[in-house]
Copies of this chain bind each other. A is one copy, B any other.
């Protein structure tokens, strides 16, 4: 059986989840794909950080070049987060002829054209299913199974932290500040929640969705973005009484070739499929000219759901390129 040699950049939650899946489900993957995945090196920048799983010490390195310049490695998986050095690492890996997979929405949304073009120029694959909506395989659907459609609209609940906060505000009638504190205590919100609650994370994901659906790149900083920090318990109560639910929605649609886009709190009818998406779950609602409306629902974060999406990309490359 052929072996795909894989280098992981990052060994936090997503890196750990990916490593665990490739280890625990190795036989299943070999049986289904006919190629064996082997992690040969893992970049771990902070040795003292708590890990999701352990790995053989001799796989670990603090030197990125042991992966990026390693002739043995076929596939580099970038799970560092942040725009740099992640982007430079991905470009270097592509230029060295390696297929690149990334879970890093910030880096991809910031440098979409450069990354896609560099992959094309070097004739390598660049896949990033995990960068939008975690474990939900929506990018693969957009670029493959649904690719005979002109997309008309894409909208989604793209951030689990804000959906958790809005759900708790709705169900328990509590104010934003109180729910945020609770979410931070439970690990659903970070100590500095700005990127989530101000809609920045959702804008990164919408930028990627728009690029794939409408072949139009808009920098996330150019997407009109409003977060959820100004939403009061009263707003939610008033919406409820009008048969609505407030959700943070990233949305883009096209009409006569013109794409309009925003990230903002929206009052959805309670009968809308997205209105039923609660807690930390994500969902993407797509309209194609032929298929009509579709919704993809699932876990938008977490080591194993996100790792599942990363592994889907790894398997796709193993299936087609080995």
Interfacial residues, chain A to chain B (CB-CB below 8 A): 17, 21-22, 25, 28-29, 32-33, 129, 135-137, 140-141, 144-150, 271, 273, 276-278, 288-299, 302, 304-305, 307-309, 311-312, 314-316, 319-320
Contact = CB atoms under 8 A, between A and B. Distances in A.
B308 A29 contact: no
A299 B271 CA distance: 16
9 nearest CB pairs, A to B: A137-B145, A148-B311, A145-B312, A291-B308, A294-B298, A295-B297, A135-B291, A140-B145, A276-B276
Contacts of A309: 145, 291
Contacts of A297: 273, 294-297
A309 B312 CA distance: 20
Contacts of A296: 294-297
A298 B292 contact: yes
Most chain-B CB neighbours within 10 Å: which of A147, A296, A316? Answer: A147
B21 A290 contact: yes
Contacts of A288: 308
B308 A146 contact: yes
A29 B302 CA distance: 35
A273 B276 CA distance: 7
A290 B77 CA distance: 18
A277 B297 CA distance: 13
A12 to B, nearest CB: 17
Contact of A146 (B271, B312, B319): B312
A129 B146 CA distance: 11
B33 A147 contact: yes
Contacts of A291: 135, 298-299, 304-305, 308-309
A146 B137 contact: yes
A15 to B, nearest CB: 14
Contact of A25 (B148, B293, B295): B148
A36 to B, nearest CB: 13
A305 B276 contact: no
Given A17-B290, A295-B298, 15 more contacts: A22-B148, A25-B148, A28-B148, A33-B147, A135-B291, A135-B292, A144-B144, A145-B312, A146-B312, A271-B278, A273-B276, A290-B307, A294-B296, A294-B299, A295-B295
A277 B274 CA distance: 11
Given A145-B129, A147-B315, A315-B147, A305 B292 contact: yes
Contact of A150 (B28, B277, B289): B28
Nearest to A28: B150
A300 to B, nearest CB: 11
